[in-house]
Structure 1
Amino acid sequence: MMHVRRVIRGAALVATTAITTLVASQGAMAEEVKVRFSWKLKGEYGFFYLGEQKGIYKDAGVTLKLGEGAGSQAALGSLIQGQEDVVILPGIFAISAIQKGMPVKIIALYQPESPIALISHAEKAVKTPKDLEGKTIAHAVGETGTSYLNAFCEINQVDCSKVSKVQMDSQSRVPQFLQGQVDVVSVYKTNDLPVLEDKTGQTFPTLDMAEYGLAIPGMAVVASDAGIAEKATALKSFLAANAKAIEMTRSDPAAATAALKAVWQAGPSDKVVQRQIEATSASIHAPSSGTPVGWVDEKAIGDALKLVGSTEEIGDPKPASTFFTNELLTQ
């Protein structure tokens, strides 16, 4: 009997040692992925923090390092310099940069259409594109919503000559709108709109630009060509973990809110952040036709390149394969 006990204790010790070795091995194999957002913390980034809190990235063998940003140009610059492994930014900016020769690619596109809306005052409500005629709209250089207003008008048979764009700096747009100096302003449904409606206590007439055909690529994951070659395995694991975190956030936005607020105490109220997170989940295309979340459609890239070409000189469009790869989304 004593011999049997010694055998059992020995087997248990061997098993414990094996488990400890396996865990240590997994920890040693974990690869750091440095992620830079294009802007400050906001509800759009909630799924990253929920995934990190729930151990999704760790389980995928990824040590996640998240950092706030100061604009798309700065984020892309840090990517090219090798300071980051990926950046999270609007896909339209990546497409423009790639066309100009920047050696980066979109490796996942979560928002094929940016969740941009035009909001107005009840007494001058803009509920359909045609309602824009005769209205004034705030515009800032580089602002996504109104930079492609001519294309939006063309898609919807609106006479854009009857829409007055009032140019101002980006920080003045919303205050000028609230003061009634302009009739319309563009906002992100995933960021600005929940904050603005909470602040004013108003529900504004809203025209969803994507619903009326304006497909401006939004949240994208971008990596450098060199980074894709050097860290393909880690990037694959990162994107797979993102997919799980996105679905978890879709199912439990309150948990994602709590995870984000744990690192963003100075942010808006939980109610506002949860509205941002829910709007983001609604804007991320769910997997369909056997393709994973984040799959990049070649036509979406081509259409976006035409949009870019409508506002800036781009020369001859580069081949679609220059702009993206879906290889890291496949297992």
Structure 2
Amino acid sequence: MLKHFSRRGLAALAAGLALSAMAAAPALADTKIKMVLNWKYQGPQGMFFLAQDRGYFKAEGLDVTFDQGNGSGAAVPLVANGTYDMGFGDINALIELAAKKPEDAPVAVYVMFNQPPFTIAVKADSPIKTPKDLEGKTLGGAANDGALKLFPAFCKLAKIDCSGIKITNMQPNLREQMLMQGQVDGVFGYVNTIRFSAKLIGVGDDKLRYINFGDYGMDLYSNGIIVSQDLVKKNPEAIKGFLRALNKGMIDALKDPDAAVAAVTKREPLIKVPVEKERFDATLKAEMNHPEIAKIGLGNVDMTRLQQSIDILVDANKLPSTPKASQIFDPAFLPPVADLPKTLF
């Protein structure tokens, strides 16, 4: 029968068959990535949502889902056990897991918080003015709080006897209220988390005083993007694509903080925008602005400094092994250093 078709007719038939085949074949699905954040939706997470809203993840072939977190330390086991592919979690909790169960430990691939945010907040009129004054007192914190997990190391470096200090676990949303009501003498947390959570309940910063871990030799990294070993093995290109997209979102957030906070508002309309904008700015200044980024870029780490922080934690917490910095952070997935932000202001 084909002899009755002209060349033009055969070409049209072939094109029609090709279009039919394309219509019948399903489109390639985007790679799904589940990520848990460090905390409830807040201003400093704006870069994640800007990257999502502006299609940067989609352009990399990724379908990313973000869930709220319950503490930076909590993200680490959730990635380790396979509940999430990625997390925005505390590097120091990762170091502890790697020292105990290296076969399960995720790996950090982009570190945002390069200055130690860990603190113990007390009321401004409290007699507690130095770490020594904490002895015999009652302190409170969420079970997965990064500062609480680091407290044994802080005790050793600050040369205080913490054996007589009572630790009370509390729900994170009750922390500032319990402090101001005198139910505890001090609370653990990230300095800006406490500062702005207190502001939201009408407590000004002049009512609080902070004992910052970084002032006592704990020059540690903190939150970063951590990924599961399974994802590293099975889809390293997805990790690279995620970081390219996130880095674009980070650059956009630095250029337009209002847009970053607005992106958070789309997920949580009840946040107080002025407070979250101020929280975002304070996080940039106090937690992300280490001088090293001018050379190595935001997201990257100084491996010597990281190894020193690992040694501090292993020694202070008597961990069973000492992970190498390369076990904790892998720079292979980062965008080129030239593309990483070198200044935040």
Q: What is the TM-score with the length of structure 1 in the denominator?
A: 0.76
1:323 and 2:328 are equivalent in the alignment: yes
Distance in 1 separating the partners of 2:56 and 2:77: 29
1:275 is matched with which residue?
278
Per the alignment, residue 55 of structure 2 pairs with: 55
Pairwise CA distance, 1:51: 2.0
Report 1:100-139 matches (<5 A).
100-101=101-102, 102-124=104-126, 129=130, 132=133, 136=137, 138-139=139-140
Show CA shifts across 1:232-275 (max 9, x none): 22211211222222232223222111110111124x31122222
Between 1:40-49 and 1:305-314, the stretch displaced more is: 305-314
Q: Does 1:304 align with 2:304?
A: no
Superposed counterparts of 1:225-264, under 5 Å? 225-264=229-268
Deviation at 1:29, TM superposition (A): 8.4
2:293 to 283, 288, 294: 288
Alignment partners' CA distance in 2, 1:316 and 1:201: 43
Residue equivalent to 1:217: 221
What are the Cα deviations for residues 155-200 of structure 1, in whole angstroms up to 9, with x where unaligned? Answer: 4xx5524996332122365334212344432332332320212313
Q: Structure 2 vs 1, CA of residues 154 and 313 (structure 1 numbering), >3 Å: closer, same or farther?
A: closer
Distance in 1 between residues matched to 2:93 and 2:221, nearest whole Å: 9
The answer for the alignment partner of 1:194 in structure 2 is: 196
Structure 1: any 5+ residue segments left out of the alignment?
Answer: 1-26
Aligned-pair identity in percent equals 20
CA deviations on 1:255-304 (whole Å, 9 max, x unpaired) are 111110111124x3112222222233232247735423211332343233
TM-score, normalisation: structure 2: 0.73
Considering only aligned residues, what root-mean-square deviation do their CA atoms show, in Å? 3.3
- Conserved? CA contact 2:87–2:225, under 8 Å: yes
Name the SS of the counterpart of 2:113 in structure 1. coil
d(CA) in 1 for partners of 2:199, 2:92: 27
**Offset at residue 150 of structure 1 (A):** 5.4
Give the distance between the partners of 2:250 and 2:111, measured in 1 at CA: 13
Deviation at residue 206 of structure 1 after TM alignment: 3.4
User: Kindly tell me: are residues 193 and 46 of structure 1, through their superposed partners in 2, closer, same or farther at Cα, counting changes over 3 Å?
Assistant: same
Verify the 8 A CA contact 1:137 1:163 in the aligned structure 2: no
Q: 2:18 maps to what in 1? A: none
Q: Does the CA contact (< 8 Å) of 2:135 and 2:161 recur in 1?
A: no
Q: What is the 5 A alignment of 1:87-106?
A: 87-99=87-99, 100-101=101-102, 102-106=104-108
Task: Measure the CA separation in 2 of the matches of 1:265 and 1:113.
Answer: 30
The residue type paired with residue 114 of structure 1 is P
Q: Distance in 2 between matches of 1:98 and 1:317?
A: 8
Relative to structure 1, the CA distance from residue 77 to residue 54 in structure 2 (aligned partners, 3 Å threshold; closer, same or farther) is: same
1:58 positional shift: 3.2
Alignment partner, residue 22 of structure 1? none
Query: Number of aligned pairs?
Result: 301
Larger CA deviation: 94-103 vs 170-179: 170-179
